[in-house]
Amino acid sequence: MENLRPIQIIKAYNNRDKINSILKGLCLGLFYCLVSISCGESPASTNAEKQDSSATAAESASSDPSGKVIMAIFAHPDDESTVAPILSRYVREGAKVHLVICTDGRLGVNDFTDHEAGEGLVAMRKEEMKCAAEKLGVELIHLDYHDQLRAAEGYDGHIPHVRALIKEVHQLVTDLKPDVIITWGPDGGSNHLDHRLIGATATSVYLSKIWDKNPSLYYVGRPSQSMDDEESIILRGVDESYLTTQITFTDDDLEAAIASLSCHVSQVQVDRVRERMEGRYGKDKLIYLRKFVGPQSSSDSVF
């Protein structure tokens, strides 16, 4: 019985007992509604719902980053450059920014250096990452997971490694109590296995419970509209209509980001960093994020 007004319900039953039964049911329903409202009961709400329900009232207060906690989580040392200018901005504006880098970067070889994969590169990249974090003013948490999370070692190497990472990230969210989590979206920016896995890890941790502090989860994205070729749009694009959080930053923030990326001397050609960073953010100096939004109500249908 769907969308019947009371008069229609009455017409549907010509038996007085049935009418009485319906009226009794309506009264009981009303009674339970009143009781549940007075007792403050409400259906379980998701992190995102809680965030959204308080968003309007707290819009102006929440836009002040002072005292807020951001947890930015990425895969490799140098991945933070994707959002480095806004990390600099929020540090400057008084937020506490924790930068979590999950892998040790042991496989980060390239054709413009002669570094070999392995422990020597790990030691080098640890120092580079400390330098990069210092330039941005963020608190660095550099975990020691192998690049590609031991994927080359097969299921028995990969899965325990991934599960340990999920648990460690869960503990970090528990301890740091972030207001905001920033990570990769499903495209991983470059489709890199590690990028996508770290975004998925942060997301699964976020979804695993209703966190007390109602953090917001954001994915970094590049608008499809900014890409020239169809292949890039397919592989990495996010339609701009999803990227509704568009954050500006100052020239000083860009300078901090350039100085930060220049620390990664094993990974970048330092004399090209400025051009690369200025090209990445465009003349509008914008970083695009997609906010994770959970369901707003329950449903018994997918349609």
Residues near Zn ion (CB under 5 A): 75-76, 79
Give least dist CB 76 to Zn ion, A.
4
Characterize the bridge pairing of strands 245-248 and 237-238.
Answer: unpaired
Give least dist CB 79 to Zn ion, A.
4
Give least dist CB 38 to Zn ion, A.
53
Give least dist CB 277 to Zn ion, A.
16
Task: Give the span between the Cα atoms of 278 and 301, in whole angstroms.
Answer: 47
**DSSP code of residue 47:** H
Residue with smaller CB distance to Zn ion, 76 or 96: 76
Residue with smaller CB distance to Zn ion, 131 or 207: 131
Residue with smaller CB distance to Zn ion, 80 or 179: 80
Give least dist CB 82 to Zn ion, A.
9
Residue 268, SS3 per DSSP: coil
Instruction: Show the tokens assigned to 197.
Output: 């896995």
Distances (CA, A) of 213 to 24, 51, 141, 206: 42, 9, 21, 11
Residue with smaller CB distance to Zn ion, 48 or 133: 133
Task: Spell 165-196 as b/e; 16+ CB within 10 A means b.
Answer: bbebbbebbeebebbbbbbbbebbbeebebbb
- Length of the chain (residues): 303
Residue with smaller CB distance to Zn ion, 9 or 265: 265
> Among all residues, whose Cβ is closest to Zn ion?
76
